[in-house]
Structure 1
Amino acid sequence: MQAGRHAEAERLGRELQPHHAKSPHLAYLLGMAALLQGRPRDAVPLFERAVTLDAGMVPALYNLGFALDGLGRLDEAAAAYRRASVRAPQLVDAHNNLGHVLQKLGRHDEALAAFERALALRPDAEIHMNRGNALRDLERTEEAVAAYASALELKPDFAEALTNLVAVQYLLGRFEDALHTSERVIECRPDAFTGYLSKGRALHELKRYDEAVAAFEMALTLKPDDAETYKNMGVTLKKIDRYEAAIASLQRAVALRPDSDNAINLLAGALLDAGRHDDALAMYRRALALDPDGLFRLHSNMLLGLNYQAGTSPASLFAEARAYGNKAARKAKPFGRHDNLADPERRLRVGFVSGDLGQHPVGFFLQNVLESLDPEKLELFAYATAIRSDELNDRLRRSFGHWCDATNSKFIDDQTLAARIHEDGIDILIDLAGHTAKNRLPVFAWKPAPVQVTWLGYLGTTGLDAIDYVLADPWALPAGEEGQFTETPWRMPESYICFSPPDLPIAVEASPAQGKGYVTFGCFNNLNKVTDEVIAVWARLLQAVPDARLYLKTRSLGAPEVRENVLAKFASQGVDTVRLTLEGQFASQEDHFRAYHALDIALDPFPYPGITTTVEALWMGVPVLSMRGDRFISHQGETILHNLGLPQWIAGNADDYVAKAAAFAADVPMLAELRAGLRARLLASPLCDAPRFARNLEAALRGMWLKWCETGPDHAG
């Protein structure tokens, strides 16, 4: 056996077996011969016979555990290792291997105890690392970092411990540390694929995107067919506006892992951002076919993408949202009873579920409203589904009496979050995301609160019967369109949104047409909204006003290939591209607002108009031309302009849109006069009157609560 002649040893053992049938040592040696030849299934009964003949034969118990582990019979393996460690308490490897098996079983506390017993017997770099892994799995991440550090003190070039340390540093958001540790991995093993991959991920988080791409490219030289690296590189390339390269990288990831819904989702998002709507939606549908009963995040992304398409009817949007809602309902187990005190007048506990509680349009619209709500009437709870570290997040936190970090859906799944909300005794739960990023809509299917509302983040139905109301107003959701919602509309008396003006020292300047002699139209909306149908109408407008210019600014226009694609579309409509100015995202918020100085008239896209960009333009004195729609999302310009007292800036259809734009462009004195008073007009309107809006919102929430109280606490929704 010691000479490695295992087959010969096994043959000799078989010859001896008839004469030594009750020899535990012979059974053990035959078991070892089978195990060392890669036949654990044959080894197990031989080790079991050895232990039956001699219950104290520790080597047989230990190797029985090893063989059972290899066969995936983990509970039996754990039992064998435990027996070995009881018989031989000083056997370090029995404790260590027991810890490994317990980790596989998800029994991390027991695994940690086993590793600590092993360490007490022998301080060893590998066992310190194993202890760190157990602490990581228990989410005791700081202690895991210390355990990995102990391993590296004993063995500084321990590449596996360094790699595991990187992963924990990444989880803790210590990206500089993760970068440094990744570089140590590469120093120890220049051919370490994981070192370059983790280096690229850390550089991405540090916004050093070009260096991240270089690291991913190096990783691919070591492992050319790694789908994860292509996926990460695609995400990073998109960050630096290299859309075609990002799409190519993500396509490669999907080709390597055609069953990866995450890669398909990312590819679809890149296609959508590049304006390739049909390709994006085809990708979303391909991914959903992989798991028709799951993939809620991806299904939401597809629903959001459908809103950009002019050809998507309200009925088809409703049907797709209803399919999502039915799927969520099948997965959930709703709370059958709510014990909230059905007192119509008491202080209400109101929860907000959102991943946008910070520098985001949702945050901008919330900030002044939350600060204006009466704390004697409402006790506010936040369930934050994304980490945001910025000044607005700090400000929003001060408005909430309670803040729950619900950022990791792996550890805080839908059932767990629903139970937390239910335990918090929330009376009214408000979804602020709908089908946008970081939503937790499936939680609402559990009906953790007696009254549930969707508001602000998404401009359409969620499709969930468990959400009782959608907050709207008479212009955003006019009478006759209730059938587009599974929720019951609750209409605010004026506007359903309230803008928090920016705290920036930027004055409104004179209309640029007065100095230039021609009008500049513009749009700073996401390019997803500028569809071929929108470009065709804008091209007609430029032909109707032959000396006018068009200024488009949005992040994706920072990519040369995207700019060229947009210019080509206008050129195909007969527009001289010299008349177009296309720019990407500006470095600061102040620069972004100053860009409005160049516009005379802002053009709202359709069917997905602006909201934040619309009120920003108005605050900068730029009037906005919008088009009447046939669904909630398309009415956003209408509600803003009605609340501002400018209904004449709402076009009835494409022809009217062109005619109105041309007529307004021809009246520069009118534009100049309107511009001079537009900011004051906006600030005096319901759109910016936070105390007035807060009273309306309090009344709406109280009205919803009164309706629930009428049915009593046994009402399940």
Structure 2
Amino acid sequence: MRPTAGKHNPSQAAQLGLELVAAAPVVAAAVALDETDAERVKRVRTAVDEIQAGNLEAAAAILDPLLAAEPEDFDTLHAGAVLRLKLGRFAEALALMQKAVTKNPGDAQAQQNLGAMLARQGRLEEAAAYFTRAIAIDPRNVSAQTNLGLIYQSRGQIEAAVGCYRKAIAADPAAAEGHSRLAAALKDTGDLPGAIAAARRALELKPSYTEALSNLIHYLEHACDWRELPALEAKLDKLTAPALARGVKCGEAPLLSVVRSADPVRNLRVASSASKDLAASMASLNMHFPHERRRGPRKKLTIGYLSGDFRNHPVAHLVRGLFQRHDRERFRVIGYSYGPDDGSDYRRHIAASCDLFVDLRSAGTAAGARRIYEDGVDILIEITGYVAGNRLDIPALRPAPLQVSWLGFPGSTGATFFDYAIVDKIVLPPTEIQTFAERPIWMPHCYQVNDSDQPISARTFRRADFHLPENGFVFCCFNNTYKIEPQMFDLWMRLLKAVPGSVLWLLRSNPQAEENLKREATARGVAAERLLFDGKLPKDQHLARLSLADLALDTYVYNGHTTTSDALWAGVPVVGYAGTHFANRVSASLLTNLGLPELIANGLDRYEALVLSLVQDPAGLRTVRRRLAERRMRWPLFDTARFARNLEAALAGIWRLHEAGKPPSPIVIADPGPMETAPAA
């Protein structure tokens, strides 16, 4: 059976469409009323006031009779369209707005609002045309400039987006939203100082602007500029508390929440507020995918993997070897990609490893969801989560009977449209099941897959190639700079003081972070030159150079994930920090499943003591390295085939529950695969 829906055409980034509608002004607020009919004008104005006050029934009582009496009147059509949009009657709203534009094509605001509604459907090419017409009529139309900028940004045309946002700001310098949009685009260009300045300006204009504050905090984290963070985070907590208490969208990005807070209950509340807002927006599309006829036994299950990261990206580095290892007698594998095709080996290999590989870059919400449904996907696995550029709008429409969250986001999505999340008992202990909205699938080993075929370059690097000391102890941490925070950095500096001649080898991410970390080191009595920075290399060469380090150091609130796996695969021991939420328990899971639990520390004091004990016992550290080398190919962590078998057991198990008419329930997978129903939590 085909899904029931309104008419939706392909687009590029349907979730962007949600932002367009949210960014656009209420249509009726901008209606330039025809004054020739005083009584009609008065009634439409009254209806506009009621809409703005949220009194939609009162507005309908005025506008419905007017539409019946004067179905060709532009002002009434225009106001009626926004009323129906507010009421969730999207198809009617769109039809009225299209008619309004036909009646008065010279009205810039009507052109802009029609564009915003089309963008809501993901019809970005058509939307862009209406925004362009609105700008031609009125170059100072702020919403049209901003919305066109969002479309450019979704296409990766960042400089064009920046130009639109600057024009919007020139037209209305006091509009905080324009500065916030500009900040995000400047961050995408690599202009971190510009992004920080624009976000600050947005907050000056609108001090309660939680989205801008959330972004500013994250930009400062990227820059490792911690001086204002305690005050800014306290302000964000205060601003978001009322919304979180009501369970509505709070404005804080879920990713920022897990980066800055190790409180899994608060992480869930932030994610839930975002997912509820997304689900409500998607409901207005009025799409329904019937799944009842698909319930039943299968000779072969169709598994869909949805991601924007099937390219040279940490997620692809992890999953590269998985798809080819699925049992084709029992599973059909489809990859759905909405990210760029970078032509990398990762992209080519993943595409070739799927039975079908579908590029959804040109598909909007409705088209993307419909494609998944019509491909007969039984279980959809989303592997991006709340990362920038995600397409959670697609699973929000529930195109598959069962939907699973995995890998890309270290925590619960808070979404009711995901039935399950793939975890393990270290990152999510059974006693903390209440911190997840999804039902857990507890894997027998680590929840994170790794590629057992990942090549390491045969190139021989020397320490001198990277200005590392020949004889000094080399600590390393190649995590992204936003994961580095003051408490762990304090500890690292104490380590450098305690180990003469040692250095800390870090990833070169942006000049601001390098400058700020050196300043922070100096403030802690450590010479800035003991912090060494190096940029990215091709992955196989990066793995080869990692072996030059003596010991890798984990981060605090948000562990290394792929970064920890990389160090272990390269043969470098990692001291892992085990914390209180998913994001800072990953290294503990990785090390446990490599048979190295002695490298896990459950507190900062233990972490520091463990590192020093390894530094002060060179023979013991050599023994650890030898055990790591021996276990790398024998323990579960890097056994991709074993992971595939256990994942297949999980997928078959949840399908059996589904075909039996049972609701999704937590399950435990026991190696080599039998499923057990988890005890009630």
1:237 maps to which of 179, 186, 205: 186
Distance 1:623 1:707 in 2: 41
Higher RCO (C-alpha under 8 Å, 6+ residues apart): 2
Cα 1:287/1:494, change in 2 over 3 Å: closer
Cα 1:579/1:38, change in 2 over 3 Å: same
- 1:698, distance to aligned residue in structure 2 (A): 0.9
Distance 1:110 1:209 in 2: 33
Which residue does 1:599 correspond to in 2?
549
Relative to its length, the structure with more helix (as a share) is: 1
- 1:231, distance to aligned residue in structure 2 (A): 2.8
- 1:702, distance to aligned residue in structure 2 (A): 1.4
- 1:534, distance to aligned residue in structure 2 (A): 0.6
1:312-331 equivalences under 5 Å are 312-317=262-267
1:314-463 equivalences under 5 Å are 314-317=264-267, 338-343=292-297, 346-382=299-335, 384=337, 386-391=338-343, 392-393=346-347, 395-398=349-352, 399=354, 401=356, 403=358, 405=360, 412=366, 417=369, 426-439=377-390, 449-463=400-414
1:256-271 equivalences under 5 Å are 256=205, 263-271=212-220
2:200 maps to which of 251, 256, 259: 251
Letter in structure 1 aligned against 2:511: A
- 1:371, distance to aligned residue in structure 2 (A): 1.9
Give the conservation status (yes or no) of the 8 Å contact 1:99–1:112: no
- 1:485, distance to aligned residue in structure 2 (A): 3.6
Summarize deviations over 1:288-311 as a string: whole Å, max 9, x none.
Answer: 857977875945x24x3333346x
Give the conservation status (yes or no) of the 8 Å contact 1:498–1:690: yes
The alignment status of 1:550 with 2:500, answered yes or no, reads: no
Give structure 2 stretches of 5+ with no counterpart.
Answer: 1-31, 43-61, 85-91, 666-681
Which residue does 1:664 correspond to in 2?
614
- 1:580, distance to aligned residue in structure 2 (A): 1.6
Give the conservation status (yes or no) of the 8 Å contact 1:281–1:305: no
Distance 2:437 2:117 in 1: 41
1:472 maps to which of 423, 426, 444: 423
Q: Tell me the secondary structure at the aligned position of residue 462 of structure 1.
A: coil
Which residue does 1:686 correspond to in 2?
636
- 1:552, distance to aligned residue in structure 2 (A): 1.9
1:166-245 equivalences under 5 Å are 224-239=173-188, 241-245=190-194
- 1:658, distance to aligned residue in structure 2 (A): 2.2
TM-score normalised by length of structure 2: 0.68
Distance 1:613 1:625 in 2: 12
Distance 1:664 1:565 in 2: 29
Give structure 1 stretches of 5+ with no counterpart.
Answer: 1-34, 46-71, 83-93, 119-124, 149-160, 167-184
Distance 2:161 2:270 in 1: 38
Supply the RMSD in Å over aligned alpha carbons.
5.5
Distance 1:43 1:380 in 2: 59
Distance 2:541 2:155 in 1: 23
The alignment status of 1:570 with 2:500, answered yes or no, reads: no
Distance 1:103 1:375 in 2: 50
Which residue does 2:661 correspond to in 1?
713
The alignment status of 1:639 with 2:589, answered yes or no, reads: yes
1:703 maps to which of 644, 648, 653: 653
Give the conservation status (yes or no) of the 8 Å contact 1:78–1:98: no
Which residue does 2:45 correspond to in 1?
none
Letter in structure 1 aligned against 2:322: V
Give the conservation status (yes or no) of the 8 Å contact 1:259–1:290: no
Distance 2:79 2:281 in 1: 32
Give the conservation status (yes or no) of the 8 Å contact 1:77–1:101: no
Letter in structure 2 aligned against 1:231: S
Cα 1:338/1:359, change in 2 over 3 Å: farther
Distance 1:215 1:144 in 2: 18
Q: Tell me the secondary structure at the aligned position of residue 294 of structure 2.
A: coil
Cα 1:478/1:201, change in 2 over 3 Å: closer
Cα 1:126/1:593, change in 2 over 3 Å: farther
The 10-residue stretch of structure 1 (534-543 or 230-239) with the greater mean CA deviation from structure 2 = 230-239
Distance 2:540 2:309 in 1: 21
Give the conservation status (yes or no) of the 8 Å contact 2:457–2:541: no
Letter in structure 1 aligned against 2:295: L
Give the conservation status (yes or no) of the 8 Å contact 1:432–1:456: yes
Distance 2:189 2:237 in 1: 24
The alignment status of 1:41 with 2:38, answered yes or no, reads: yes
Summarize deviations over 1:141-172 as a string: whole Å, max 9, x none.
Answer: 89969x98xxxxxxxxxxxx994499xxxxxx
The alignment status of 1:490 with 2:464, answered yes or no, reads: no
Give the conservation status (yes or no) of the 8 Å contact 2:268–2:436: yes
Letter in structure 2 aligned against 1:233: L
Distance 1:329 1:163 in 2: 29
The 10-residue stretch of structure 1 (259-268 or 197-206) with the greater mean CA deviation from structure 2 = 197-206
- 1:532, distance to aligned residue in structure 2 (A): 1.5
1:525 maps to which of 456, 479, 486: 479
1:648 maps to which of 582, 595, 598: 598
Distance 2:279 2:123 in 1: 35
Distance 1:485 1:197 in 2: 36
Cα 1:597/1:204, change in 2 over 3 Å: farther
Which residue does 2:577 correspond to in 1?
627
Give the conservation status (yes or no) of the 8 Å contact 1:520–1:550: yes
Which residue does 2:14 correspond to in 1?
none
- 1:697, distance to aligned residue in structure 2 (A): 1.3
Distance 2:282 2:141 in 1: 43
Letter in structure 2 aligned against 1:41: A
Distance 1:213 1:473 in 2: 43
Summarize deviations over 1:598-648 as a string: whole Å, max 9, x none.
Answer: 532110112321011112223333221212334433321122223333333
The 10-residue stretch of structure 1 (195-204 or 452-461) with the greater mean CA deviation from structure 2 = 195-204
Distance 1:203 1:81 in 2: 36
Q: Tell me the secondary structure at the aligned position of residue 522 of structure 1.
A: strand
* Greater Rg by CA: 1
Cα 1:668/1:214, change in 2 over 3 Å: farther
Give the aligned length: 594
**What is the percent sequence identity of the aligned residues?**
27
Distance 2:251 2:295 in 1: 38
Cα 1:232/1:445, change in 2 over 3 Å: closer
The alignment status of 1:615 with 2:565, answered yes or no, reads: yes
Distance 2:432 2:147 in 1: 50
- 1:259, distance to aligned residue in structure 2 (A): 7.3
The 10-residue stretch of structure 1 (280-289 or 686-695) with the greater mean CA deviation from structure 2 = 280-289
Cα 1:423/1:268, change in 2 over 3 Å: farther
Give the conservation status (yes or no) of the 8 Å contact 2:461–2:545: no
Summarize deviations over 1:414-456 as a string: whole Å, max 9, x none.
Answer: xx94x87667654333332344445566876776655443321
Give the conservation status (yes or no) of the 8 Å contact 1:338–1:713: no
Cα 1:546/1:209, change in 2 over 3 Å: farther
Cα 1:244/1:76, change in 2 over 3 Å: same
- 1:546, distance to aligned residue in structure 2 (A): 2.4
